[in-house]
Structure 1
Amino acid sequence: MDINVAIIGSGYMGGGIGQVLALAGAKVALADADAATAQTNLERLLTESKQFEEQGLFPAGATETLTRNLSAAPSLEDAVANASFIEEAVPEKLELKRSILAQISAAARPDAIIGSNTSTISIADMAVAVENPERFLGIHFSNPSPFIPGVEIIPHEGTSEAAVATAVGYVEETGKETAVVKDVTGFVLNRLQYALFHEATQLVEEGVASPDDIDTLVRTTFGFRLPFFGPFAIADMAGLDVYNFCYKSLQSDFPERFATPAILAEKIEAGQLGTKSGGGFLDVPADKLADLIAYRNEAYVKMGQLLKDLGPAPLDPGAAE
């Protein structure tokens, strides 16, 4: 990855993104509120890297690579001057982000791709501060960014297709997976994450289950599947007719909260019931079904073994026993 990168905001998220890009070969300049803060965060990132190497979380030689590729810039302007790719990672405050983005775009090359690591703020609302806004988009890494493989790519209506393709290319060169989504409130990741959390809190408030029991069920049942399959693949394998029946059952007490999605009703009406009928949301070919089931079974057994090898998380009540 032979490019110059600037990370504006070198804290936990920005610093982690800097590690990801620097390990992939980019020359990464970190900038912050002042040069001293950027230098302090650079030293923290190198110390973290040594620990990650010792723990086997970073490859051997990672710290040497980061020492070579990461630097602390004396100012924002110095950091962005020669950068092809700039990632803004300052706190989630719209006016602050607009101010920083205006400074970035005034000092950067006119063709530099500018991304924001925002998780919730409208990309269009920030784009008004950017010169040549067609090169601006959301590039949302997840915490902790060195270890979470997915990245949301969020263009606003004025982002050019070329900028999207370039940003996707830069991110995927680091080994991450990307998904391009629309600039809507919450984007995709947080709408899904908060939908689950919202229902979980209602179950606690209604006295149905404790937080511990809900967490246990999520991580040992449908959450157990999620590293391998998303919600549409899971639904296809379960059977869309089964999902349709379950929606009807849920509607007996929660008619509005669990109204049958129109897109599911359309699939049922068309006789597309998932893998059992050879059609569904992902339309898995019949000749691939046996391979899919074999992969699923192996994946779940290996996930179970991994969890046994790791042992319970330190927050698990059983971990102290």
Structure 2
Amino acid sequence: MSNNVENTEKQLQFAVVGSGYMGGGIAQVLALGGARVALSDVSAEIAAKNYERLLVESDQFVADGLFPAGATETLRKNLWAAKDIEEAVANADFIEEAVPEVLEIKHATLARISAAARPDAIIGSNTSTISIADLAVPVINPERFLGVHFSNPSPFIPGVEIIPHAETSSATVGAARDMVHSTGKQTAVVKDVTGFVLNRLQYALFHEAAQLVEQGIATADDVDTLVRTTFGFRLPFFGPFAIADMAGLDVYDFCYKSLQTGFPERFATPKILKDLVDAGKLGTKTGAGFLNVPAERTAELIAYRNKAYVAMSALLEDLGPAPIH
């Protein structure tokens, strides 16, 4: 499929390199957000095949009420399959690399992208594990390169991790965030450290859960049930710091001390928590904590919390249990 659709002057030009499950989903997100998106892969045939797959997938998503009516027509207008990387990136304002998580493959791909792209084009990588600084090595003008990490399934997960490396310019970070926000998603900017933030948190939970099962303390099903129906039930609405502030940081401090009777090193009290408690900043009840929610908004916050949890219960009842048993 050639790039033969007339573009408006203001329409942003994007390219996604790697048209598989993640790259294809990202391309859908960008194209439905109004950009003109080139899709490329190791061959023109694979890119074209995945282009057609994304249209079929979109039809099903529309039928299921997951994509808006007319989404497939929007994709046909905005999405196109390029013959190669060079054609895909030639006129792009933003390029997202989404090839396999192998440093050598990514280096070779990023070298081709940066050689063929405009010198001012922003280049993002969808890596979830590899250092952005390490990935930046073959990139010409590395100040325009950063991590832009979508989560699976990218059309439906609203958060995107933005990861600059030491040489990434602030203008690049701002432009990348604006691009993501234009698709209706939210961003968080984090530092270029091992695991970034998303996977560090995700694997910390899994690590503790796996140990509980290995030690015969609970079954995998029981652990999943507790996570889904207790603290995990809160997480769509409140992150860990908001939850801690609402519970009371003095309560958290006490619970850490209790945990330390069995696990003195693993559950050592974080210094950041101890410092707040020592300063009398105990969360929402004092109007100061991690997030400094004013004490006078506590009633409003509790009302929102209760409404949110009841709405979540109703949603889960409407959806029914996940088909995993």
**Within 2, Cα distance between the matches of 1:212 and 1:244?**
29
**Within 2, Cα distance between the matches of 1:245 and 1:75?**
59
Q: Residue type of the partner of 1:254?
A: F
Q: Who is 2:313 aligned against? A: 304
What is the 5 A alignment of 1:211-226?
211-226=220-235
What is the 5 A alignment of 1:21-170?
21-170=30-179
The alpha-carbon deviation at position 46 of structure 1 amounts to: 0.2
Per the normalisation by structure 1, the TM-score is 0.98
Q: Who is 1:250 aligned against? A: 259
**Within 2, Cα distance between the matches of 1:202 and 1:284?**
35
Deviation sequence 1:65-108 (CA, Å, 0-9, x none): 00111110001000000000000000000111011000000000
**Within 2, Cα distance between the matches of 1:17 and 1:2?**
17
SS in 2 for 1:256: coil
Q: Who is 1:263 aligned against? A: 272
SS in 1 for 2:96: strand
Q: Which of 7, 12, 27 is matched with 1:3 structurally?
A: 12
The alpha-carbon deviation at position 111 of structure 1 amounts to: 0.2
Q: Who is 2:247 aligned against? A: 238
The alpha-carbon deviation at position 276 of structure 1 amounts to: 1.2
Q: Residue type of the partner of 2:271?
A: A
The alpha-carbon deviation at position 277 of structure 1 amounts to: 1.4
Deviation sequence 1:181-209 (CA, Å, 0-9, x none): 00000000000000000000000011100
Q: Residue type of the partner of 2:22?
A: M
**Within 2, Cα distance between the matches of 1:287 and 1:47?**
51
* 2:291 pairs with 1:282: yes
Deviation sequence 1:137-179 (CA, Å, 0-9, x none): 0000000000000000000000000000000000100000000
Q: Residue type of the partner of 1:65?
A: T
SS in 2 for 1:279: coil
Q: Which of 172, 187, 195 is matched with 2:196 structurally?
A: 187
How much is the aligned-residue C-alpha RMSD, in angstroms? Answer: 0.6
Q: Which of 4, 17, 29 is matched with 1:20 structurally?
A: 29
Deviation sequence 1:94-137 (CA, Å, 0-9, x none): 11101100000000000000000000100000111100000000
* 2:217 pairs with 1:208: yes
The alpha-carbon deviation at position 288 of structure 1 amounts to: 1.3
Q: After the TM superposition, which of the residue ranges 118-127 and 281-290 deviates more from structure 2? A: 281-290
SS in 2 for 1:299: helix
SS in 2 for 1:260: coil
Number of matched residues? 316
Q: Residue type of the partner of 1:161?
A: S
**Within 2, Cα distance between the matches of 1:60 and 1:17?**
19
SS in 2 for 1:71: strand
Q: Residue type of the partner of 2:122?
A: I
The alpha-carbon deviation at position 299 of structure 1 amounts to: 0.1
SS in 2 for 1:151: strand
**Within 1, Cα distance between the matches of 2:292 and 2:75?**
43
The alpha-carbon deviation at position 35 of structure 1 amounts to: 0.2
Q: Which runs of 5+ in 2 are unaligned?
A: 1-9
Q: Who is 1:229 aligned against? A: 238
Q: Which runs of 5+ in 1 are unaligned?
A: none
Deviation sequence 1:207-231 (CA, Å, 0-9, x none): 1000000000000000000000000
**Within 2, Cα distance between the matches of 1:203 and 1:59?**
42
**Within 2, Cα distance between the matches of 1:207 and 1:180?**
38
**Within 2, Cα distance between the matches of 1:138 and 1:2?**
23
Question: Percent identity between the aligned chains?
Answer: 74
**Within 1, Cα distance between the matches of 2:214 and 2:296?**
46
Per the normalisation by structure 2, the TM-score is 0.97
**Within 1, Cα distance between the matches of 2:131 and 2:298?**
40
The alpha-carbon deviation at position 290 of structure 1 amounts to: 1.1
